[in-house]
Amino acid sequence: MTRFLARRLLNYVVLLGLASFLTFTLTSMTFSPLDSLLERNPRPPQAVIDAKAAELNLDKPIPVRYGDWVAGAVRGDFGTTVGGQPVTDELWRRIGVSLRLVIIGSIVGTFLGVVAGAWGAVRQYRLSDRVITTLALLTLSAPTFVIANLLILAALNVNSFLGLQVFEYTGETSSDAVGGGWNQFVDRLQHLVLPTFTLALGAIAGFSRYQRNAMLDVLSQDFIRTARAKGLTRRRALFKHGLRTALIPMATLFAYGVGGLFTGAVFVEKIFGWHGIGEWFVQGIGSQDTNIVVAITVFTGVTVLLAGLLSDVLYAALDPRVRVS
Amino acid sequence: MTVSAPQEFVSRRTLVWRRFLRNRAAVLSLFVLAALFIGCYALPPLLPYSHTDLDYYALQQPPSTTHWFGTNALGQDLLAQTLRGMQKSMLIGVCVAFLSTAIAATVGAVAGYFGAWRSAALMWIVDLLLVVPSFLLIAIVTPRTRESGTILWLILLLSAFSWMISARIVRGMTMSLREREFVTAARYMGVSNRRIIVRHILPNVASILIIDTALNVGLAVLAETSLSFLGFGVQPPDVSLGTLIADGTRSVTTFPWVFLFPAGVLVLIVFCANLVGDGLRDALDPGVRPARRKRNSHR
């Protein structure tokens, strides 16, 4: 197991290095970070532009620049933005914001999705199953930015109906949230509900579909009938023998899901005005900033790989066959 | 599979087609999709407004008899704009679906059939592309392409990043097909590898490829509109459903129709594409799910 994980990890590190190299080369070739200076009117003197170019190492060839970047990145220093601020500090701050957004949504989404899918499989072709399946497909057909806006519209109606500002849909906190810890907490909660729900909905829909299929496969297997035949209650046979087996493929899906979650977070952050990684990425491309974009690539790469590793471990925990061999 | 009258020979194609027709939701979706596709190309010439015309007497107006979908802040007719957006989004969706499935079939079949170093190298590329944040890379490149080429670039880039998982599936299926007798027989008869792949392997994975293409249409439309929503896809002055929804988002709480119409059309397209994909899956491999309404027949 340890050997297996170590080999996996090494493979991941190599992939991560290549991913960062590709992104770095591509951004360095396509971005022209001096545009913000050149397009200024009146145009700044040439000396200023040259100084900026030298500061950003634009005079060196790209492989050398990548070498410099790696030397810094290994020590945890991701360089500076075009504006001159250190990338690393901002990266950590924004990771915090994004994680606050993503973690609850993904946990709630995975859990509810698995429950909905398993329930639908047990009640196959009944009304409840049909409703869940159709709603899941409809949700999967709607991109995150449509769901987010529909939720905002719905929340607006609820707010105006109740005459109270129950749901907030801009930012992480209100600037006027004063008072004790309780008020702060409620204020954060009000801001958290809609974005979290937006992310969770997509996850619920995706997981429920796969879980339903996996559960259906398992339910038609012989060992469920055997379990029932030896006198287990229906509930016990379904949960202990059925659901546990049907969860195994979900472990792999979870790893792919994490990548999608961060893409979803880009839209949620943009629409709800959270200053997280996703929003920064859009800004980074707008300001043609190589260091920001590559730092975000590394971050998303690391999260996807960690999720992959986690799903390997989960797989081993759920599937005894992996542990034995 | 029960064919009640053995004297009547039914080809697999007919069987599949019959099973598909029995699925009312899928058939209806196929009709809706076809109508939308034809409509978005046929309708614009018949409208009094083109998508670029500005009606200064109707700025930010809700839906009315002259402007069925209402107008935006510039006085552009939203129906004409939505149709124009549909043209781009659906064209990109269909092209990407076919292209990415073609790549998946080629890579998967080659890797699975030859195995050894080809398989290792190709699967390593698959791993790499899965790790590289494809969304980021496409977003970096497209805003820098020139107007006319943007759509083509989008199609190429989106296809280049959406074939990996299907390729893995095709590889797995090919690996088991390679061991089957008819492939061995063909090999001993001296049939070339290329011909074996084209004539014997690919037809046997065709069902998965068809399903994959149908489901990829929805995914590709979603990917394109997502990029366009952020400003990294179709570039102004051209419009796609994504850029229209992005415009609508700014005024969603005050002028909701600017958002609701393009968003509704987008969800309808993707929903229908998914239903058709599901219908094809049920028709092509009925073994996955037990026969319909099994429960009812017992009552």
**pLDDT over 80 at B240, yes or no:** yes
**Residue-wise pLDDT tens digits, A93-107:** 999 988 888 888 888
Chain B: nearest CA to A181, how far in angstroms? 31
> Chain B window 214-233: which residues touch A at a Cβ cutoff of 8 Å?
218, 222, 225-226, 229-232
pLDDT band at residue B286, thresholds of 50, 70 and 90?
low
Average pLDDT over residues A312-325: 74
Average pLDDT over residues B157-182: 88
**pLDDT over 70 at B287, yes or no:** no
pLDDT, position A135: 92
Contact assignment for A145 to B245 by CB distance below 8 Å: yes
pLDDT, position B148: 66
Task: Identify the weakest region by mean pLDDT among A97-106, B106-115, B132-141.
Answer: B132-141
Q: Which residues of B touch A303 (CB under 8 A)?
A: none
Question: Can you give the length of chain A in residues?
Answer: 325
The chain-wide mean pLDDT, for chain B, equals 83
pLDDT band at residue A177, thresholds of 50, 70 and 90?
low
Average pLDDT over residues A182-197: 86
pLDDT, position B265: 92
pLDDT band at residue B295, thresholds of 50, 70 and 90?
very low
**Residue-wise pLDDT tens digits, A238-293:** 888 888 888 887 877 777 677 777 788 889 998 998 898 988 988 888 888 888 98
**pLDDT over 60 at B298, yes or no:** no
pLDDT, position B94: 93
> Chain A window 200-229: which residues touch B at a Cβ cutoff of 8 Å?
213, 216, 220
Interface test with A, best of B134, B136, B269 (most A CBs within 10 A): B136
**pLDDT over 90 at A313, yes or no:** no
Interface test with B, best of A8, A147, A149, A218 (most B CBs within 10 A): A149
pLDDT, position B207: 84
Q: How far is CA B253 from CA A150, A153, A163, A324, B188, in A?
A: 10, 6, 16, 57, 70
> Chain B window 110-169: which residues touch A at a Cβ cutoff of 8 Å?
127-128, 130-133, 135-137, 139-141, 143-144
Chain B: nearest CA to A131, how far in angstroms? 14
**pLDDT over 90 at B270, yes or no:** yes
Percent of chain A scored above 70 by pLDDT?
97
**pLDDT over 90 at A14, yes or no:** no
Q: Which residues of A touch B265 (CB under 8 A)?
A: none
**Residue-wise pLDDT tens digits, A37-58:** 777 777 778 887 787 777 777 7
Between residues A251 and A200, the one the model is more confident about: A200
Domain A94-290: which CATH class?
mainly alpha
Between residues B292 and B251, the one the model is more confident about: B251
Does any CB of chain A come closer than 8 Å to the CB of residue B256?
Answer: yes
Does any CB of chain A come closer than 8 Å to the CB of residue B38?
Answer: no
pLDDT band at residue A1, thresholds of 50, 70 and 90?
low
- Backbone φ and ψ of B62, nearest 5°: -70, 165
Q: Which of A152, A281, A296 sits opposite B253 (nearest CB)?
A: A152
Nearest CA in chain B to A304: B131
Does any CB of chain B come closer than 8 Å to the CB of residue A253?
Answer: no
Average pLDDT over residues B215-235: 89
Q: Which residues of A touch B246 (CB under 8 A)?
A: 145
pLDDT, position A248: 82
Q: How far is CA B77 from CA B62, B66, B258, in A?
A: 11, 9, 10
Q: How far is CA A4 from the centre of its chain?
A: 26
**Residue-wise pLDDT tens digits, B18-64:** 888 888 889 999 999 999 999 889 888 888 788 777 777 777 778 87
Q: Which residues of B touch A267 (CB under 8 A)?
A: 226, 229-230
pLDDT, position B30: 92
Instruction: Count each helix (H run) and each strand (E run) in chain A, helices first.
Output: 15, 0
Contact assignment for B252 to A149 by CB distance below 8 Å: yes
pLDDT, position A139: 92
Q: How far is CA B250 from CA A1, A44, A145, A302, B162, in A?
A: 52, 34, 12, 33, 30
Q: Which residues of B touch A139 (CB under 8 A)?
A: none
Domain segments of chain A as ranges: 94-290
Between residues A178 and A36, the one the model is more confident about: A36
Instruction: Quote the ipTM score.
Output: 0.84
Contact assignment for A125 to B294 by CB distance below 8 Å: yes
**pLDDT over 60 at A33, yes or no:** yes
